[in-house]
Amino acid sequence: MSASAEILKASRPSPAWGAVLASLCLLLACAAPLGVNGYVLYLLTLTEIFTLVALGLNFLTGFAGQISLCHAAFFGVGAYATAILTQKAGVPYLLSLLAGALLTTAIGAVVAIPALRLKNIYLAIATLGFGVVLQKVIFEWRGLTGGGGGLALTAPRIAGYELGAIGLYYLTLILMTLGLFGAWNVSRGRTGRALLVIKDSELAAGSLGIHAPRYKVIAFAISAFYAAIAGGLFAYLVRYINPESFSVGLSISFLSMVVIGGLGSIGGSIVGAVFYVIVPELLRGIKDAPGLVFGLLLVLVMVFMPQGLWGMVRRLVGRA
C-alpha cells in the first residue's frame, strides 16, 4: 500500500467512536466559556485559530505533499487585511474577514506557481523567500500597515454589538467547525483523491487524466484561505499586530505543528494545535523548556510515529 493510501486510511476514523468523540468535543467547546477564566478562554480561542491554520497547511502538505514555509505570511496578510479594512475603511468585520481571506487566497495561488516546477527542499526555499518578501512589504508599507510600530485594534462589532472575548470565542468556534467540515469533505472528494495520486506520482496522475498543476494551485489557494481566516481572527484576539509576529519562525512552528499532530489527518490538525498552545503553557515556568520539548517531540515523531500523535491515539483506541 502506498504512503498516501496509508495517510488517507489513517485519516478516516471509524464512524462509531469518531462521531461520539466529535459530538462530545463540540459539546464541551460550547460549554467551555461558562466554567473558565479569561486567560483560559484566550488559550482556547488561540487553539481554535491555530487549528484553522493547521487544517489548511495539513491539506497542502499532508495530502498534496507540498512543503510551505510562508504560511506565517499568509496568516499575517489575513490579519492586516482584516484589520485595515475594519479599522481604516469602516468595512464590517465579517465582510473584512472574508475580503482579507479572498485577497490572501489570490496571493496563495500566485505563490503556487513555483510549485509547478519545484519539489521538496527547493519548494520549501522558494516559499521561504515569498514569506520573507511578504513580511518585508508589510513592514515597509508604513502608511497603510503602521510599519514596525504595528496596529492597535479596537474590539470588532457585528450588527452594532461589540464582540467581546466570549463572542470572539464562539465566532472562532463556528468558523473552525465550518473549516473542519469543509476540509473533511474536500479531502474525501475528487480534489483530495487527486492530490493523493499526485503526491505519489505525477506521472501516474497524468495517465489518469489528473491535471497536476491545477490541483497544486487549488491546494495552495485553499491553504492560504484557511490561514487568512485564522489571521483575521488572531488580530482581534490579541488586539495588536506587528510584522515581527509573522516571522519565518512562526511558519516553521506551523509546519512542526502539523507533523507532530499527524500529516494528512483532520484529527492530527486539532491535536497539533492543542499541543502547540498547551505545552508552552504547562512549561512556561521552566526556562527554554517549551522549545526543547517541542523539538525533541518532533524528532521522536519523525522517527517512531510517522503518522503523528493522532495516529498513535487511533492505534491505542483500536486496540482498546
Give, for all 320 residues of the chain, the pLDDT tens digit.
444 444 444 444 445 555 666 677 778 888 888 878 889 999 999 999 999 999 999 888 888 888 888 899 999 999 999 999 998 888 999 999 999 999 999 999 888 887 777 777 888 888 888 888 888 888 888 888 888 888 888 888 888 788 888 999 999 999 999 998 988 888 788 877 887 787 777 777 777 777 777 888 888 899 999 999 999 999 999 999 998 888 888 898 898 888 888 888 888 888 889 888 888 787 776 666 666 776 777 787 777 777 778 877 777 777 76
What type of residue is 250? L
Point out which residues pair with 161 in neighbouring strands: 158
Question: Are 85 and 30 a contacting pair, CB within 8 Å?
Answer: no
Question: Are 85 and 91 a contacting pair, CB within 8 Å?
Answer: yes
How does 116-146 read in b/e, with b if 16+ C-beta sit within 10 Å? eebeeeebbebbbebbbebbeebbeeeeebb
pLDDT of residue 42: 93
pTM: 0.87
Question: Are 164 and 45 a contacting pair, CB within 8 Å?
Answer: no
* φ, ψ at 254 (rounded to 5°): -60, -45
DSSP 106-159: HHHHHHTGGGGT--HHHHHHHHHHHHHHHHHHHHH-HHHH-GGG-EE-PPPEET
pLDDT of residue 290: 65
pLDDT of residue 196: 79
pLDDT of residue 101: 94
